Amino acid sequence: MVRLISIFVGIGFAFVAMVAFVIGVYGWATEPTEKTAEYTFHLYPRDFQFSFEGPFGRWDQVELQRGYKVYKEVCAACHGLEFVAFRNLADLGYSEAQIKAEAANWQVPGIDPVTGEATTRPGTPTDYFPSPYPNDVAARAANNNAIPPDLSLITKARPNGTDYTASLLTGYTDPNTFQIDGKLLRQEFPDFTVPEGLHFNPYFHSLNIAMAPPLTSTGQVTYDDGTEATIRQMSHDVAAFLTWAAEPKMIERKQTGWAALGFVLFATVLAYLAKQQIWAPVKPKNRKTKPNAS
């Protein structure tokens, strides 16, 4: 009885799935979905090299300091870093005194001690990086109706985020000459437009991003260590800095991982040897010898 009903039910489910299949395939064959410009001309991030990649990766503190400078002088105008505190800059190799001085360069929200009114005050090491806008409405108003996202987790919030950030910053180009494998965007999609206030960037999912190219010329930021501040260099450095901001414990994590794996490997080898020894008496050694004596 159970089986009879089951066979019935099984055929029922399969039948309905197949009806949907036939209708779906018919629809697909008769009106195939057209490929969009976003689908055909979207680019995956390019591969940039970073010191912290791989199981033995390390932060390059000088690079992080350069990246911080790019963030501070360029990106911070529009993007916050809400989960990073000034005290965290110690990871970049700054001393306590330097951090104190650096924090004081930033204005953070505060309260006037006399009147109680909202005001701003210089930051202290325990403060977090302030948001450039008081609220989302203000952020939209200043950016063509787009909100510049907080950057504290951006490299984890996008697939392949570190390379993505660097690719995005170096990826602005002219839609009229943009091509992939000899196929011109203009030719394949003559109707493609870049709306007013948006900027063409093939690494962005919709190809048109509301962020104007933030890094536009060599030397836009003056590096303290004398490195030449090309657009590519600045993009690389700020991507590294944002990776640290998103996951400050990354290197500690990898190093702990080696210790943990080493310990487990040792224990596993011991367990294997113990297993071989304990099982030896009951294992058939080979077909010819007599069965176990124990």
Among another protein, ligand HEC, none, what binds residue 272 when CB lies within 5 to 8 Å by partner kind? another protein
CB 121 within 8 A of CB 110: yes
Q: Does 35 bind another protein (CB under 8 A)?
A: no
Of 247, 251, 216, residue with least CA distance to 70: 216
Q: Does 143 bind ligand HEC (CB under 6 A)?
A: yes
Among another protein, ligand HEC, none, what binds residue 75 when CB lies within 5 to 8 Å by partner kind? ligand HEC
What single-letter amino acid sits at 231?
A: I
Of 92, 48, 84, residue with least CA distance to 232: 48
CB 169 within 8 A of CB 204: no
CB 148 within 8 A of CB 217: no
Q: Does 34 bind another protein (CB under 8 A)?
A: no
Neighbours of 224 (CB within 10 A): 10
Among another protein, ligand HEC, none, what binds residue 111 when CB lies within 5 to 8 Å by partner kind? none
Q: Does 229 bind ligand HEC (CB under 6 A)?
A: no
Tokens representing 270 are 């011991």
Q: Sign (positive/negative) of CA torsion 233, 235, 240, 245?
A: positive
CB 94 within 8 A of CB 72: no
What single-letter amino acid sits at 292?
A: N
Binds another protein by CB under 8 A, chosen from 34, 177, 191, 279: 279
Binds another protein by CB under 8 A, chosen from 97, 196, 225, 287: 287
Among another protein, ligand HEC, none, what binds residue 211 when CB lies within 5 to 8 Å by partner kind? ligand HEC
Q: Does 149 bind ligand HEC (CB under 6 A)?
A: yes
CB 190 within 8 A of CB 37: no
Applying CB under 6 A, the residues found at the interface with ligand HEC are: 70, 74-75, 77-79, 143, 146, 148-149, 154, 158, 165, 168-169, 204, 209-212, 214-215, 238
Applying CB under 8 A, the residues found at the interface with another protein are: 2-3, 6-7, 9-11, 13-21, 23-25, 28, 33, 55, 83, 88, 149, 152-153, 156-159, 161, 205, 246-249, 253-254, 256-258, 260-261, 264-265, 267-268, 271-272, 274-275, 278-279, 282, 284, 287, 291-292
